[in-house]
Amino acid sequence: MRTIFRRLSFEIKNLISCAYTGHEMAEKHGVTLKGVMNKNELRKLSDLELLEFTSRAAKNEKAATLVLLEHLLEVDVRRAFAADAYSSLFDYVVRGLKYSESQAAERVSAVRLMRETPEVKTHIESGALTLTSAAMIQRHIRAEMSAPGGSKVKVPKETKAALITECLGQSKREVEKILLSHASEPVRLASQELTRQVTATHTELKILIDEETRELLKRAKELSQTSTTAELLKQTLQTIIEKRERQLGKSAPANEAQEHSKPSHSATSTPPEEESKEARNPNARYIPTQFRRAIFTRSNGQCEYRAPHTDARCTSSAHLHVDHVLPLALGGKTELKNLRHLCSAHNQKAAQIAGIAIPAITPTRNPKNAPAKYR
């Protein structure tokens, strides 16, 4: 697995050079590649020749992008990113391949659409569907899958195909109009958080809030006597973080500690009244509260997985699980030295390596509160 992952990483990192170096993977898409022309050589070209070479370079870039998407699709299907210190495909594209967060989000969304609807690859290859449009369609589908009551609803394959077909050959603005016209709740489609760096130390955050939240914000300002929303947000976040860290690191009740460090495939919960008895039993599945606190202090609330070939540590601090290094089923004990914090991706990877099956969670096909067109 390590060899395969390193090979995939090497090939992906060299994709951009495909547009200029004559890489055989890009040539399989019918694109003839030329070497890089320096500034002096470009200046010798006529205007028409320059336009021709520029057009060829654009085709090469698109071919390289498609090859990249194919590789990322395979990485996503295998969850190969978990073989290294990455908690998700997005994390891999940002930290491993050095793309910006916006570029990574666009490519990951396009990959997910290709995975769900294979014909998207043909549309991107032909130029009928741009990478940006594919990402926008996938974000729309994900928004539609989130039913108002918090349930998941599966968007029919026919609906996806029809939506993609309608967006073929359209500009970004036209795609936005099409998606808004199909949104069950248009306001939800427009409610994505937007951030923009405005100075070296300040970021602009744009969010959409409802009337109830606006009134709460107004009242909070009055009570805290702060003049700006930014200052109120800062104070609130500091209070929440300090309180939560104090609870988790020092005096967290059992139920709160369990919420933060969810049981893994080898750790289940036990009623608090039985904790003292279970805590003395190294064969028990229950993770004692004092162990959870010690693990949190040691991990600093971060996944403890390290890549075998680089020793790089996973940076994820979300959805942490307490994992048995050696599973109970294989003779492991519920002892502090045999417990660690793992993010969801690396917890699943550990279970896969140990041969422990984790049931997949699939979307509900017809929840009662799903949009009418998906029932």
Instruction: With cut-offs at 50, 70 and 90, classify the pLDDT of residue 243.
Output: confident
272-299: average pLDDT:
74
287 pLDDT more than 60: yes
Q: Is pLDDT larger for residue 181 or for residue 149?
A: 181
pLDDT of residue 188: 54
Per-position DSSP letters for 296-319, written without gaps between them: HHHHTSS---B-TTT-PBP---SS
- Which range among 28-42, 75-89, 196-210, 338-352 shows the weakest confidence by mean pLDDT? 28-42
Q: Name the architecture of domain 260-354.
A: Orthogonal Bundle (1.10)
Tally of residues, the chain:
375
Please determine, for residue 346, whether its predicted confidence score (pLDDT) is greater than 90.
Answer: yes
Asked if residue 12 has pLDDT above 60, the reply is: no
Gyration radius (Cα) of the chain, Å: 25
Least confident interval from 94-108, 140-154, 361-375: 361-375
- pLDDT exceeds 80 at position 93: yes
- The H or E element spanning position 200 is none
pLDDT value of position 205: 86
Query: How much is the mean pLDDT over the chain?
Result: 78
Assess whether pLDDT exceeds 60 at residue 358: no
- Of the chain, the percentage scoring pLDDT greater than 90 comes to 34
How many C-beta atoms lie closer than 10 Å to residue 208's C-beta? 12
For range 304-309, the mean pLDDT: 91
State residue 2's pLDDT score: 53
Q: Which of 67-76, 79-88, 224-233, 342-351 has the lowest mean pLDDT?
A: 224-233
Closest CA to 89 of 5, 192, 193, 200: 5
CB 84 within 8 A of CB 96: yes
* DSSP one-letter code for 92: I
Mean pLDDT of 7-15: 53
- Judge contact between 8 and 71, C-beta under 8 A: yes
pTM of this structure = 0.66
pLDDT of residue 36: 63
d(CA 132, CA 102): 11
pLDDT band at residue 71, thresholds of 50, 70 and 90? very high
* pLDDT tens readout for residues 323-338: 999 988 888 899 999 9
Phi, psi of 263 (to 5 degrees): -60, 145
Q: Does the pLDDT of residue 254 top 60, yes or no?
A: no
Residue 109 has what pLDDT? 95
Each residue's pLDDT tens digit, 102-161: 999 999 999 999 999 999 999 999 899 999 999 999 999 988 887 555 456 788 889 899
Question: Poorest-confidence range of 1-5, 114-118, 245-249?
Answer: 1-5
Give the pLDDT of residue 365: 40
Confidence band of 30 (pLDDT split at 50, 70, 90):
very low
Nearest by Cα to 144 from 106, 195, 181: 181
Most confident listed range (32-41, 168-177, 189-198, 203-212): 168-177
- Given this model, what pLDDT does residue 286 score? 84
H/E run at residue 234:
helix 229-246
Write out the H or E segment, with its range, that includes residue 340. Answer: strand 339-342
Most confident stretch, 55-59, 246-250, 272-276, 360-364:
55-59
Q: Which amino acid is at 174?
A: E
